[in-house]
Structure 1
Amino acid sequence: MTEFSVSKQIHGVDITMSAGKLAQLADGAVVVTIGDTQVLTTATAKRTMRDGADFFPLTVDVEERMYAVGRIPGSFFRREGRATERATLTCRLLDRPLRPSFIDGFRNETHIVTTVMSADLENPYDVAALNAASAALTTSPIPFLGPIGGVRLALRDGEWSAFPTYNDLEESVFDLVVAGKRNASGDVDIAMVEAGATEHGYRHFKAGQVPSNEETITEGLEVAKKVIGELIDLQLELKAQMPATEEIEWPVFVEYSPEMFAKVEAAAKSKLEAMGVVADKHERQNQESAIRDEVFESLDLEEDEIREAKSAFSKVQKNVMRSRVVAEGIRMDGRGLTDVRKITVEVDVLKEAHGSALFTRGETQVLNATTLGMLKMEQMLDTIDPYETKRYMHHYNFPPFSTGETGFMRGPKRREIGHGALAEKALFPVIPDIEEFPYAYRLVSEVLMSNGSSSMASVCGSSLSLMDAGVPIHAPVAGVAMGLIEQDGEFVTLTDILGAEDHLGDMDFKVAGSEDMITALQLDTKIESLPSEVLARAMMQARDARLFILGEMAEVLPAPREELAENAPKIEAIQIPKDRIGEVIGPKGKNIRQLEEDTGATIEIEDDGTIRVGASSTASMQMAKERILAIGFPPEPELNKDYDGEVVNVTKFGAFVNIMPGRDGLLHISKMGGGRRIAQVEDVLAL
Structure 2
Amino acid sequence: MEGPDITVAEAVIDNGRFGTRTVRFETGRLAKQAGGAVMAYLDDDTALLSTTTAGKHPREGFDFFPLTVDVEERMYAAGKIPGSFFRREGRPSTDAILTCRLIDRPLRPTFTKGLRNEVQVVITVLSLNPDHQYDVLAINAASASTQISGLPFSGPIGGVRVSLIDGQWVAFPNFSDIERSVFDMVVAGRVVTAADGSEDVAIMMVEAESTDSTWDLVKNQGKDAPTEDVVAQGLEASKKFIAALCKAQAELAATAAKPVQEFPLFLDYQDDALAAVSDAATGKLRELLSIAGKAEREDALDAFKDELKADLAGEGKPFEGREKEISAAYRSVQKQLVRERILTDKVRIDGRGLADIRALGAEVEVLPRVHGSAIFERGETQIMGVTTLNMLRMEQQLDTLSPVTRKRYMHNYNFPPYSTGETGRVGSPKRREIGHGALAERALMPVLPTREEFPYAIRQVSEALGSNGSTSMGSVCASTLSLLNAGVPLRAPVAGIAMGLVSADIDGQTQYAALTDILGAEDAFGDMDFKVAGTREFVTAIQLDTKLDGIPATVLAGALTQARDARLHILDVMNEAIDAPDEMSVYAPRVISVQVPVDKIGEVIGPKGKMINQIQEETGADISIEDDGTVYIGATDGPSAEAARAQINAIANPTMPEVGERFLGTVVKTTTFGAFVSLLPGKDGLLHISEVRKLVGGKRIDSVDDVLKIGQKVQVELKEIDPRGKLSLAAVLPEGESGASAEPEAEAPAERAPRAERSDRGERGGERGGERGGDRSDSGEEREGRGERSRGRNRRRGGRRGGGEESGAETGTETPESDALVQAHGDDQAALATSEDA
TM-score (norm 1): 0.95
2:757 maps to none
| DSSP-derived class of the 1:44 partner | strand
Partner-residue secondary structure (3-state), 2:58: coil
Q: Note if 1:183 corresponds to 2:183.
A: no
Which residue of 1 is the match for residue 232 of structure 2? 218
CA 1:29/1:643 → structure 2, altered by over 3 Å: closer, same or farther? Answer: same
- Which residue in the other structure is 1:24 paired with? 32
Are the aligned partners of 1:647 and 1:686 in contact in 2 as well (CA < 8 Å)?
Answer: no
Residue 359 of structure 1 is aligned with which of 361, 376, 394?
A: 376
1:329 lines up with 2:346 in the alignment: yes
Aligned with residue 99 of structure 1, among 91, 94, 108: 108
Match of 2:54 in 1: 45
Number of aligned positions between the proteins: 683
> For residues 66 and 669 of structure 2, what CA distance do their matches in structure 1 show?
71
State the alpha-carbon separation in 2 of the partners of residues 507 and 642 from structure 1. Answer: 74
1:596 aligned residue? 616
Cα gap change, 1:237 to 1:374, in 2 (>3 Å): same
Structure 1 gaps of 5+ residues are none
Q: How does 1:580-659 map to 2 (within 5 A)?
A: 580-636=600-656, 658=678
Shift of 1:392: 0.4
Change in 2 beyond 3 A, CA 1:641/1:164: closer
The one of 569, 581, 586 aligned to 1:566:
586
Q: How far does residue 350 in structure 1 lie from its aligned partner after superposition?
A: 1.0
Asked if residue 546 in structure 1 is aligned to residue 567 in structure 2, the reply is yes
**CA drift at 1:290:** 2.5
Secondary structure of the structure 1 residue equivalent to 2:77: helix
1:269 aligns with 2:282: yes
1:519 aligns with 2:548: no
Residues 593 and 331 of structure 1, relative CA distance in 2, 3 Å threshold: same
Q: RMSD across aligned C-alpha pairs, in angstroms?
A: 2.6
> Of 366, 377, 380, which residue of structure 2 is paired with 1:349?
366
The 1-side partners of 2:770 and 2:814 are apart by 14
Pair 1:431–1:247, CA change in 2 (3 A): closer
- Give the aligned partner of residue 13 of structure 1: 21
Once residues 200 and 156 of structure 1 are traced to their aligned partners in structure 2, the CA distance between those partners, rounded to angstroms, is: 11
Q: How far, CA to CA, are the matches of 1:161 and 1:215 in structure 2?
A: 17
Q: What is the SS of the residue equivalent to 2:423?
A: coil
State the 1:275 CA deviation.
2.9
The change in CA–CA distance for 1:295 and 1:683 in structure 2 (over 3 A counts) is closer
Residue 403 of structure 1: aligned partner: 420
Q: Which residue of 1 aligns with 2:139?
A: 130
2:389 and 2:633 map into 1 onto residues whose CA distance is 14
Distance 1:623 1:499 in 2: 54
* Larger-gyration structure (1/2): 2
Give per-residue Cα distances to partners, 1:53-109, cap 9 Å, x unaligned: 210000000111110111111101111111111101001010000000001211110
CA separation of 1:640 and 1:526: change in aligned 2, threshold 3 A? closer
CA separation of 1:637 and 1:326: change in aligned 2, threshold 3 A: closer
Q: Distance in 2 between matches of 1:202 and 1:196?
A: 12
| Helix, strand or coil at the partner of 1:190 | strand
Alignment of 1:471-482 (within 5 A): 471-482=488-499
1:583–1:662 contact (8 Å) kept in structure 2? no
Of the three residues 670, 677, 687, the one matched with 2:769 is 677
Name the amino acid aligned to 1:568: A
Partners of 2:9 and 2:676 in 1: CA distance: 73
Q: Does the C-alpha gap of structure 1 residues 684 and 74 become closer, same or farther in structure 2, counting only changes over 3 Å? A: closer
Change beyond 3 A, Cα 1:254–1:663 = same
1:660 to 1:282, Cα distance in 2 relative to 1, 3 A: closer
Q: Deviations over 1:271-308 (max 9, x none)?
A: 11233511111111122123222322332354421011
Aligned CA distance change for structure 1 residues 647 and 24 (closer, same or farther; 3 Å): farther
Cα distance, 1:176 vs structure 2? 0.3
Q: Could you tell me which residue of structure 2 aligns to residue 162 of structure 1?
A: 171
Q: Secondary structure, in 3 states, of the residue corresponding to 2:186? A: strand
Paired with 1:156 and 1:537, the residues of 2 have a C-alpha distance of 24
Secondary structure of 1:677's aligned partner: helix
Q: Is residue 647–residue 680 contact of structure 2 (8 Å, CA) maintained in 1? A: no
Matched, 1:317 2:334: yes
* 1:354 alignment partner AA: H
Q: 3-state DSSP class of the match of 1:304?
A: coil
AA partner of residue 106 (structure 1): L
- Of 212, 216, 221, the residue aligned with 1:199 is 212
Moved more, 346-355 or 302-311: 302-311
Q: When the two structures are superposed, what TM-score results if normalisation uses the length of structure 2? A: 0.78
SS at match of 2:561: helix
After alignment, is 421-430 or 632-641 more displaced?
Answer: 632-641
- Deviation track 1:610-630 (CA, whole Å, cap 9, x = no partner) reads 111111112112211111111
Please give the alpha-carbon distance, in whole angstroms, between the structure 2 residues aligned to 1:483 and 1:650. 80
Between stretches 628-637 and 36-45, larger displacement belongs to: 628-637
- SS in structure 1 at match of 2:216: helix
Structure 1 residues 123, 683: CA separation in 2 closer, same or farther (over 3 Å shift)? closer
Q: Residues 311 and 598 from structure 1, CA distance in 2 versus in 1: closer, same or farther, beyond 3 angstroms?
A: same
Alpha-carbon distance in structure 2 between the residues aligned to 1:487 and 1:405: 33
Stretch moving more, 270-279 or 87-96: 270-279
- 1:153 maps to 2:153: no
1:173 match: secondary structure = strand
Separation in 2, partners of 1:273, 1:343:
27
Tell me which residue corresponds to 2:71.
Answer: 62
- Matched residue, 2:243: 229
Aligned to 1:393, the other structure's residue is in SS state strand
Q: Any conservation in 2 of the 1:632–1:662 contact (CA below 8 Å)?
A: no
Aligned mates of 2:48, 2:322 — CA distance in 1 = 46
Q: Name the structure 1 match of 2:711.
A: none
Q: Please state if 1:576 is matched with 2:593.
A: no
Cα deviation, residue 640, structure 1: 13
Match of residue 519 from structure 2: 498
Indicate how the Cα distance of structure 1 residues 686 and 365 shifts in structure 2: closer, same or farther if over 3 A, else same: farther
State whether residues 484 and 490 of structure 2, in contact with CA within 8 Å, keep that contact through their aligned partners in structure 1.
yes
Q: Distance in 2 between matches of 1:54 and 1:160?
A: 42
User: What secondary structure does 1:493 align onto?
Assistant: strand
Asked whether the 8 Å contact 1:374–1:438 carries over to 2, the reply is yes
- Answer yes or no: is 1:256 the counterpart of 2:278: no
**C-alpha contact (below 8 Å) 1:650/1:686 kept by paired residues:** no
- Give the secondary structure class of the aligned counterpart of 2:639: helix
Measure how far apart 1:415 and its partner are: 0.4
* Equivalence for 1:426: 443
Separation in 2, partners of 1:110, 1:656:
79
Q: Which amino acid aligns with 1:401?
A: Y
> For 2:361 and 2:390, how far apart are their aligned partners in 1?
29
The answer to whether the 8 A contact 2:374-2:385 is kept is yes
Sequence identity (%): 52
Q: Secondary structure at the match of 2:308?
A: helix
Higher mean alpha-carbon deviation, 290-299 vs 388-397, is at 290-299
- Contact 1:432/1:472 (CA < 8 Å) preserved in 2? yes
> CA–CA distance in 2 between the matches of 1:533 and 1:169?
27
The CA deviation string for residues 542-590 of structure 1, in whole angstroms up to 9 with x for no partner, is: 00000000011111112222x2222211111111222221111111100
1:682 Cα offset (Å): 6.7
CA distance in 2, matches of 1:681, 1:322: 88
Contact 2:289–2:297, Cα closer than 8 Å, also in 1: no
Q: Distance in 1 between matches of 2:770 and 2:677?
A: 18
